[in-house]
């Protein structure tokens, strides 16, 4: 760690300690609730910002017991996204609220009906629902009628006895679908909707095809991909 980074980290840690002490001194909150126990990942006897942040995340954010999955078929950043998705650590409005941020609303940006949380954005929201339906028709395989939670998509893939080539194609499609649903949601938040809903399905087919072309020995031709991807 550079001296600059170390200085910034120490300043953040000092601010956290000062905030906790201020709360403790106010007497408004029982002392036992302020006894934050940070696991020391380096076993060096010091308190690190990374450990403090992880302890706060672990105590405030939902967690998943799902195993970490890592596949060479999809790009690194998509693997990281999938990992964060399964852990439910994406920055949704509800996760921000759980972390203690004061936010104006926790309503879904896309439909303004459901909550801005993982399983709504990626499964139940109107746009997600429409996209999954189109994926089912395109792939022409018996997908479950609906996934209850996002992990269900991965459970379903893991439980199949399909050959590796077919599993690879399905994984690429599922990953691309989830990725473009995230991009669509984030684009509405940050870019005011430059990604159009009508383009999502095409983008999913393009991304999943490009990933297979670049990384899989089971890469299909574009014509095959459009007509009979599995």
- Return residues touching Zn ion (CB under 5 A): 108, 110-111, 114, 125
Three state DSSP letters for 57-75 = HHHHCCCCCCCCCCCCCCC
Shorter beta-carbon distance to Zn ion: residue 112 or 159: 112
Beta-bridge partners for 115: 107
Q: Which is nearer to Zn ion, 125 or 174 (CB)?
A: 125
Q: Give the nearest distance from C-beta 159 to Zn ion in angstroms.
A: 28
Residues 6+ away with beta carbon under 8 Å from 187: 193, 194, 195
Q: Contact, 209 vs 222, CB < 8 A?
A: yes
Residue 134 — φ and ψ, nearest 5°? -65, -35
C-alpha 224/C-alpha 230 separation (Å) is 9
CB of 111 to Zn ion, least distance (A): 3
Kindly tell me which of 23 and 111 has the beta carbon lying closer to Zn ion: 111
The two structure tokens encoding residue 200 = 């999502």
Closer residue to Zn ion in complex, CB, 20/107: 107
* Nearer Cβ to Zn ion (129/213): 129
Q: Residue 181 CB, nearest distance to Zn ion (Å)? A: 10
Residues 6+ apart with CB under 8 A from 69: 79, 82, 83, 86, 154
Cβ at position 12, least distance to Zn ion in Å: 34
CB-nearer residue toward Zn ion: 94 or 125:
125
Minimum distance of Zn ion from residue 127's CB (angstroms): 7
Distance of closest approach, residue 109 Cβ to Zn ion, in angstroms: 7
Cα angle: 54, vertex 59, 65; to 5 degrees: 80
């Amino acid at each position: 760690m550079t001296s600059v980074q170390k200085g910034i980290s120490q300043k953040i840690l000092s601010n956290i300690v000062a905030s906790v002490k201020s709360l403790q001194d106010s007497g408004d909150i029982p002392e036992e609730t302020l006894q934050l126990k940070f696991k020391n990942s380096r076993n060096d006897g010091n308190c690190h910002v990374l450990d403090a942040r992880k302890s706060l995340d672990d105590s405030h954010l939902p967690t998943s017991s799902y195993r970490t999955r890592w596949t060479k078929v999809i790009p690194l950043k998509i693997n990281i996204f999938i990992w964060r998705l399964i852990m439910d650590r994406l920055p949704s409005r509800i996760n921000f609220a759980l972390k203690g941020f004061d936010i104006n609303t926790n309503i879904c940006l896309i439909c303004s009906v459901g909550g801005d949380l993982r399983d709504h954005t990626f499964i139940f929201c109107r746009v997600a629902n429409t996209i999954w339906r189109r994926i089912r028709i395109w792939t022409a395989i018996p997908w479950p009628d609906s996934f209850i939670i996002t992990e269900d998509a991965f459970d379903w893939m893991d439980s199949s006895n399909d050959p590796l080539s077919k599993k690879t194609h399905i994984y690429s499609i599922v990953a691309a679908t989830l990725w473009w649903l995230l991009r669509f949601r984030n684009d509405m938040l940050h870019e005011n909707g430059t990604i159009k809903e009508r383009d999502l399905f095409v983008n999913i087919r393009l991304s999943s095809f490009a990933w297979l072309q670049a990384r899989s020995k089971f890469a299909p031709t574009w014509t095959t991909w459009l007509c009979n991807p599995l």
